[in-house]
Amino acid sequence: MMYRHHKLTSKLQSIIKRKVIGDITNVESNFYRFTKFDKKNIRFNKKLGGGSLFDLGYYSISLINLIFNKKPKKVFGKIVKKKNVDLKFFGEIHYGNNKIGSFNSSFIDENNDITIITGKNGKIIVPSTFLRGEKKIIILKKNYKKTFYIKDKSHRYLREVKNIVDASVRNLKLVVSIRESKKNVYCMEKLMKSAKFNKFMKL
């Protein structure tokens, strides 16, 4: 996951850890990337794991899990629009104690990848979470606004590859562990199953 190797993510984690907006109660993360329908495109091939949930939703799921940093209790998913695969997907992840993460993934809407984190004392807005664009974090509290602009000259994809190679060859720590990856995939699969049966799924 390339976004985990950008300085934006480490800065966001630092802000959350300091509880700048208090205890977090809600995270909304949307990832829209308009993609023209093409049967030859792997994204529209169900047998090869196509669909907006598997292609885009995974990023939001991983970020929401990273922010709450606890095991989800149940999930609810809904396919908003479908053509061979889900073109647009909505999901909710419930962690208990009224802590909820929600996301939308879409191939049919204009590019948009905003994340809004709500705490008891304010909000954090990340306007361009995953796609290329100006990277910044906006903190909003009563009578207070602060914006952090994140500069990162290194290429996030190259940094991701280097981390994987270093973990394999030099036995260094992965930024995204196998355990965390499995947790996110399991959550994603439960969301798709929830959409299929139109009911909450326990994790």
Task: Supply the pLDDT for residue 152.
Answer: 85
Q: Tell me, what DSSP letter sits at residue 54?
A: I
Tokens representing residue 148 in the block: 């952090």
Task: Supply the pLDDT for residue 51.
Answer: 96
Rounded to an integer, the average pLDDT of 101-110 is 97
The conformational region for residue 143 under phi > 0 = left, psi -120 to 50 = alpha, else beta, is left
Task: Supply the pLDDT for residue 120.
Answer: 96
10: CB partners within 8 A, 6+ apart: none
The predicted-structure confidence for 76-100, as pLDDT tens digits, reads as follows: 999 999 998 999 999 999 999 999 9
The predicted-structure confidence for 142-174, as pLDDT tens digits, reads as follows: 999 999 999 887 788 899 999 999 999 999 999
Rounded to an integer, the average pLDDT of 186-197 is 97
Task: Supply the pLDDT for residue 153.
Answer: 79
What is the total count of domains within the chain?
Answer: 1
Is the four-CA dihedral 152, 121, 72, 27 of positive or negative sign? negative
Task: Supply the pLDDT for residue 23.
Answer: 96
CATH number at residue 167: 3.30.360.10
Q: Lowest mean pLDDT of 38-52, 60-74, 186-200, name the range.
A: 38-52
Nearest to 4 by CA among 178, 160, 164, 183: 160
Task: Supply the pLDDT for residue 84.
Answer: 87
Nearest to 7 by CA among 127, 123, 154: 154
Exposed/middle/buried for residue 114 (C-beta within 10 Å: 0-12, 13-18, 19+)? middle
Strands 24-32, 100-106: pairing is: parallel
* Spatial separation of the C-alpha atoms in residues 64 and 129, rounded to whole Å: 12
Rounded to an integer, the average pLDDT of 35-46 is 92
Task: Supply the pLDDT for residue 115.
Answer: 98
41: CB partners within 8 A, 6+ apart: 35, 50
* Spatial separation of the C-alpha atoms in residues 72 and 161, rounded to whole Å: 29
pLDDT surpassing 90 at residue 197? yes
Structural domain boundaries, residue 168 = 2-202
pTM over 0.75: yes
* Spatial separation of the C-alpha atoms in residues 99 and 23, rounded to whole Å: 10
